[in-house]
Each structure stands twice: as structure tokens, then as C-alpha cells.
């Protein structure tokens, strides 16, 4: 998937997000990743029930399917893979995003996230509002175990040198 900057799309941060301890703790790269994920929203303009005929609101239709890959982030920002992983982990820790599906098990298998800002959720459902008191660091995915070559790796204390001399008198 080729990502380009969409100049017509964007996201407006309200002051309660901007001045929150969760947002203020983010680095520039982490803020870039959050902005990239927020521009992946697909919104639908709907008329809320029991309202006048001129009021409409936006609802997000793909919140549990937000995906912005490491490759896309590197192409767009020029930053490295470890920066993407640190930024993603920080967004999970402070409560802006939640990993729904891990991904990475084949071509086209992408990680999917849920975002807790800008989605018209009730204030008690937005995790980032509780950040200094509560952290979601336990939800950060651990690296996958390496299964290839485990039996042939050097064990602790082995050097690979032969213990007996091979030259004979």
C-alpha cells in the first residue's frame, strides 16, 4: 500500500487532548504516528436521532481496523523501525491506542488498532484521560519467539572451539 500525505484530510485536537498528561508525554515521533493513525479514520456523516434537521455528526466506521504499518511510517517520515516500535508502544502505554489484532503472519496481514481519541466516545471510555494514574504498559506486545535455528544455536558456555587438538605428533 502506497501512503501519501493527504493534504485535504486532518484531525483537530481539542484542548483537553492537547494539554492532557498523556499527550504531553509523547515525543515528536510518537505524535507523528498518532497523527498518521488518525488520518486513517473513515467517517460517515449521520443525523443523530431526535435532533433538528440541520444537525449532523461524524461517526467513525473503521475504528477497530485502523492500520498504519512500520513500512508506511518509515516511507512517510524517514524514521527507523525502532522509532516506530517505541512510538507504538508509547501510544499503547498512555492509552491512545489498543492493539486489536497482531498481524505479521504473512503478506497483507496487518496489525489492527482501536483509537480512543476523536471517536465520539464517552469520557469514561477514553483511556488516555486516566493516564497518570493508570498505564496500559502490560498490553504492549512482546517480541515473537525465534523458532528457526533454536536447536543449532550455541548454548551458554560454548565457544564452538574443539576441545581436543586436531594436530597429531
The model's pLDDT over 114-161, given as tens digits with 9 standing for 90+, comes to 888 877 778 888 888 988 899 888 888 887 676 667 677 777 666 666
Name which of 129, 137, 144 is nearest 86 in CA terms.
137
Answer yes or no: is 146 within a domain.
no
The model's pLDDT over 33-75, given as tens digits with 9 standing for 90+, comes to 898 888 877 766 666 666 666 655 666 666 777 888 888 888 8
Give the span between the Cα atoms of 79 and 67, in whole angstroms.
18
Quick one: pLDDT band at residue 27, thresholds 50, 70, 90?
Answer: very high
Q: Where are the alpha helices (DSSP H) in the chain?
A: 15-18, 21-24, 28-38, 70-77, 81-94
Q: Looking at residue 22, which CATH number applies to its domain?
A: 1.10.10.10
Asked whether residue 104 carries a pLDDT value surpassing 70, the answer given is yes
Answer yes or no: is 2 within a domain.
no
> 107 is in which domain, residue-wise?
15-139
Q: What distances in angstroms separate CA 149 from CA 51, 87, 142, 144, one per listed residue?
A: 63, 30, 20, 14
Amino acid at each position: 500500500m502506497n501512503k501519501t500525505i493527504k493534504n485535504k484530510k486532518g484531525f483537530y485536537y481539542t484542548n483537553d487532548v492537547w494539554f492532557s498528561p498523556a499527550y504531553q508525554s509523547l515525543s515528536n515521533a510518537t505524535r507523528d504516528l498518532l497523527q498518521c493513525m488518525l488520518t486513517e479514520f473513515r467517517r460517515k456523516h449521520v443525523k443523530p436521532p431526535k435532533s433538528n434537521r440541520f444537525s449532523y455528526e461524524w461517526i467513525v466506521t473503521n475504528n477497530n481496523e485502523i492500520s498504519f504499518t512500520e513500512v508506511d511510517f518509515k516511507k512517510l517520515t524517514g524514521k527507523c523501525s525502532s522509532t516506530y516500535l517505541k512510538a507504538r508502544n508509547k501510544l499503547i502505554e498512555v492509552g491512545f491506542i489498543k492493539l486489536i489484532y497482531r498481524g505479521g503472519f504473512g503478506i497483507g496481514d496487518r496489525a489492527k488498532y482501536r483509537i480512543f481519541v476523536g471517536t465520539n466516545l464517552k469520557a469514561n471510555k477514553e483511556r488516555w484521560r486516566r493516564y497518570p494514574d493508570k498505564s496500559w504498559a502490560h498490553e504492549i506486545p512482546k517480541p515473537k519467539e525465534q523458532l528457526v535455528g533454536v536447536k543449532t544455536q550455541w548454548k551458554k558456555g560454548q565457544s564452538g572451539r574443539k576441545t581436543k587438538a586436531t594436530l597429531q605428533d
